[in-house]
Structures are given as C-alpha cells and as structure tokens.
Amino acid sequence: MAKEPIPSFEWIITDKCNYDCAYCYQRKYADKRHSPDEVTDAVFALLGSLPGSWRVKLIGGEPFIHPRFIDLCRRIAGAGHFLSTTTNLYASVARLREFLDACGGKLTTLTASLHLTQVKNLDEFIDKAAEFHAAKRPSTRFCVTSVLIEEDFERLRRIEERLAERGVPFEYQVLRVRARFVRYRPEIEAYLADRTLKRTDVIRKGSLFGTLCHTGHLFFKIDVNGDVTRCYNHQPHFYLGNIARGTFRRFDGPQPCLSPHCTCVTPANRNMIRFGEKATAHRIIRRLIGGTPGSVPYVAGKAWKAWRNRR
Ligand SMILES: C[S@@+](CC[C@H](N)C(=O)[O-])C[C@H]1O[C@@H](n2cnc3c(N)ncnc32)[C@H](O)[C@@H]1O
C-alpha cells in the first residue's frame, strides 16, 4: 500500500551563499538576498493556518548565513512543526550545537553537503561531521553528501570510507545539468546503485509525466521573494501565487505531473508521488489547457463542476 504523504514545504530563506560551486544549479540567481520580513511573516501566518503538523525544509543559498536562521528554527519547532535543512557545514561546532538546541526534538534531517572545490580543510570537515553526528538526537537523520563529478570518484570513495570509520553515512548526489541527471560510466553507475540520495533511482528511471502527485497540494516550494511553486520542475500550473501578496493557493488534491522530468528527491521521499497511478489522457489535456488556482479559467472550471453536480 502507498505510504501517506508527509505534508511539507521548502522555503528558500536566502539566495546568498559563502561558496561558489561551478556545478550549483542555484548560481543563476542574480539578485542575492535574504527572504524579507513580509515573506517571513506570511510563512509563519501560513504555518499557523495549516492543518496538523508540517515539515519545513529551510534551504538556501546557505541557510546558516541568514542572520536569523536559528531563530527561525526555534519558531518553527516551537510551533510544533518539524524541520530539516541542507548546509555546507561551514558553521562552527558551537553554532551547530546552538542550532540543535533550537530545534529540540523536531529536527528530522540534516544533510551536510561536501563541496570539494570549496572546503579548505577536509580533515576539519570530517571531524565536524563526526562531532555533529555524535551530538544530534537519535531521531535526527544525518548524512554527508557530495555531487559526483566523474574525475572525483576515487577521491569521494576514500572520503566515504573515512566517514564510515567515524560512523557517518555518506550519499552521492547525481549531478544535474540543465534539469537532467547525468549518466556516469558503467562501473560508477553500478557502484552508485544503493549509494545515492534516497529515491534518486526511482525518479531517474524515466518520465513521471501524467503520474498523480501531491506536489502543489501537500508539498510546495517558497522562494526568497515569496513566490510559491509546485516543485522544482517547470511545467504548466507550476506557479501557485505569492505568499506575501496573499495570492498563494494550494491545489485541493493530487494532480498529474506535467513535467517530462523529475529531478528532486524530496517529493518522492515525502510520499507525494503516486507511482503507477496515471491520470487519464482527458484529465491531462484538461490540466494542460486549464488555469492556475485562483485564475479565471480555474474559477470558471470550478463553477462549471459545481453547476454540473448540482442536485
Ligand atoms: C544548492 S545547495 C544549497 C544548500 C547548502 N548551501 C548546501 O551546500 O547544502 C542544495 C543542495 O543541492 C546540491 N546541488 C547543487 N547543485 C547541484 C547539481 N548541479 N546537481 C546535483 N546536486 C546539486 C548541493 O550539493 C546541495 O546538497
């Protein structure tokens, strides 16, 4: 039986980063800034209105360089929601401990990205990862991950071994170029089989176009400026409005995926994708020509449905 979706959203709290990785898919953002107060206020108002407990993933840029990052974590955890984040682990051990305290028992996952071209002292990175691993609560999932560039394969394998000696799990990230996963040479692909970020294999296998997915309903992504999108893969009905301007609307149920590719593992790991459940061609066509929630075609469609179902 399919697992229940875990209601969650990702919030890009900053576009700023202290690193400059050549492969980073976020480098394109020209306007680097932290999420303004009106967006923060709107996110917390939304959190207060959502039913039940949600999982909030704070991301960047580098989340730890947001001046109020720890305060945001404390507020989310204090409101009874769960949180996770992805960091390049540049923060000091003292700051990481402060972060753990702020999250209490609500931190589900911390992913530490190792960026080989940016980290000056690898021993220090490994020590810090081991220290964090020992300090976190057992309920928090922690792993180090790194984008795999073929030339770095042997080096990363040695790092994977060094981390394993310290008890720290390591997962490879498959490089994405122009919103597509790359393919490595066969021996690397074989090695990666069960060593990539969880569920990479299922979304990398083939297109999910037409598959019902709860993104836009029980999962969405909030940008620094408050724009909300269904997920990470551009498609019709991708934009769901702006949270600070009060125009954000969630879908009212799962909708067919309208993207030829799925390249983000989070929706799969939060059980958003109803694998094997495809929408009918009729429904897909209706979605392709229909409107976004709140738009005139959408409201007209809803009114038509209500009229058709009248008693
Ligand atoms: C953009 S970073 C931002 C968060 C944080 N600064 C960090 O380094 O983890 C989020 C994640 O995306 C991964 N990433 C960035 N560019 C990528 C690419 N082209 N292909 C695959 N993963 C990528 C990073 O390794 C990191 O784990």
- Per DSSP, 67 falls in state T
- In this structure, the residues whose C-beta lies within 6 A of any atom of ligand 1 are 17, 23-26, 59-60, 62, 86-88, 113, 145, 147, 173, 175-176
pLDDT in tens, 50-73: 999 999 999 999 999 999 999 999
- Per DSSP, 294 falls in state T
Round to the nearest angstrom and report the end-to-end CA distance of the chain. 35
pLDDT in tens, 75-127: 999 999 999 999 999 999 999 999 999 999 999 999 999 999 999 999 999 99
Please identify which residue in the block is written with the tokens 């959190």. 47
CA distance 238 to 221: 10
Indicate the CATH number for domain 8-308.
3.20.20.70
* Segments of the chain assigned E as strands: 8-12, 55-59, 82-87, 107-113, 141-148, 170-174, 176-177, 180-181, 211-213, 219-222, 227-229, 239-242, 255-256, 273-278
Closest ligand 1 atom to residue 175 Cα is 20
Determine the pLDDT at residue 304.
74
Q: Measured in angstroms, how far is the CA atom of residue 254 from the centroid of ligand 1?
A: 27
pTM > 0.75: yes or no: yes
Choose which residue among 25, 32, 85, 224 to substitute to test ligand 1 binding: the one with the highest number of ligand atoms within 8 A of its C-beta: 25
Local structure of 11: helix, strand or coil: strand
The mean pLDDT of the chain is 93
CA distance 226 to 135: 34
Q: Rounded to 5 degrees, what angle do the CA atoms 287, 179, 215 make?
A: 40
pLDDT in tens, 141-152: 999 999 999 999
